[in-house]
Amino acid sequence: MTTHILRWFTSSYSDNGGDCVQVSADLAAPDGTVPVRDSKAPADAVLSLSTDAFAAFVGGVREGRLA
């Protein structure tokens, strides 16, 4: 279990009425994970993705494969 206090980030592109996710890059280097959560429910579950999986997700969004 981590003892890091996470700093959450919402993309500036997420101004779409509240359907957003937040990510924290704080664990990418030390643990190789990227925590992701629903911005509307920040106290709910957090999904931890590997840095490779998160990079693939972002790449897919940028290329329009996940629109």
Full pLDDT tens readout for the chain, 67 residues: 456 789 999 877 776 666 788 999 999 988 999 999 998 888 999 999 999 999 999 899 889 887 6
Are 40 and 54 in contact, with CB atoms under 8 Å apart?
no
pLDDT given at position 40: 87
Buried residues in 13-29 as b, exposed as e (16+ CB within 10 A): eeeeeeeeebbbebbbe
Are 42 and 18 in contact, with CB atoms under 8 Å apart?
no
What pTM value is reported for the model? Answer: 0.78
pLDDT given at position 39: 87
Return the SS3 of 32.
coil
The single residue listed with the structure tokens 């494969």 is: 65
